[in-house]
Chain A
Amino acid sequence: QKEVEQDPGPLSVPEGAIVSLNCTYSNSAFQYFMWYRQYSRKGPELLMYTYSSGNKEDGRFTAQVDKSSKYISLFIRDSQPSDSATYLCAMNRDDKIIFGKGTRLHILP
């Protein structure tokens, strides 16, 4: 079983919809949970960062962590075409970051 599992998509949703992106993980030693956004032909950039169970909100983005279920989510409200990108979940263990493979998201205008 991989340490971090993420559905690669692609996921296509109409503009304005709520998007839900998810990852599961197997190692309870993970301490920090992150979401990175990667535009085509660019490097990943940090979008959200959290270290505890519960929700963290930043504008249209909400990161949710459920440590008991080993499940993390990213919600995007009022999705925009500019949100079209690959979203990678990431988790920190022993000062190393382990990435999911990423979910490709297309927001249809």
Chain B
Amino acid sequence: DAGVIQSPRHEVTEMGQEVTLRCKPISGHNSLFWYRQTMMRGLELLIYFNNNVPIDDSGMPEDRFSAKMPNASFSTLKIQPSEPRDSAVYFCASSLQGARNTIYFGEGSWLTVV
């Protein structure tokens, strides 16, 4: 079975550039989560969607970050403009009916902003 698929796996970009991270959740899952992981702050929830609708975006650090889920099989996380402090691993995860069921993580997108 295909798991959560993320792209790109690695991205190096210059400060000020736009970054778009993509996610395909597990088929049939209706909840999707975006997390960011750093050594300093650990794994932080940025935003989560239920049935393609953003439910909680309180973890989105600032207006430079935006996320969309146009349909049940695709989501994007965009950073514009990017800054060096955005360097982190960004994980997408999905589940059936929210966080009370097992959430399955993708392998992450490793972002470096120089």
User: Which residue numbers of A lie inside 8 Å of B, CB to CB?
Assistant: 32, 41-46, 49, 88, 92, 95-102
Contacts and interface: CB of A to CB of B under 8 A. Distances in A.
Contacts, number: 46
Secondary structure at chain A's binding surface: helix, strand, loop or mixed? strand
A95 B99 contact: yes
B24 to A, nearest CB: 14
A2 to B, nearest CB: 9
Nearest to A49: B102
Question: Taking each of A43, A88, A98, A102, which has the highest tally of chain B beta carbons within 10 Å of its own beta carbon?
Answer: A43
Contacts of B99: 92, 95-97
A32 B42 contact: no
B49 interface: no
Nearest to B103: A97
Interface string B17-46: 000000000000000000000000111110
Contact of B43 (A46, A92, A99): A99
Contact of A43 (B56, B91, B98): B91
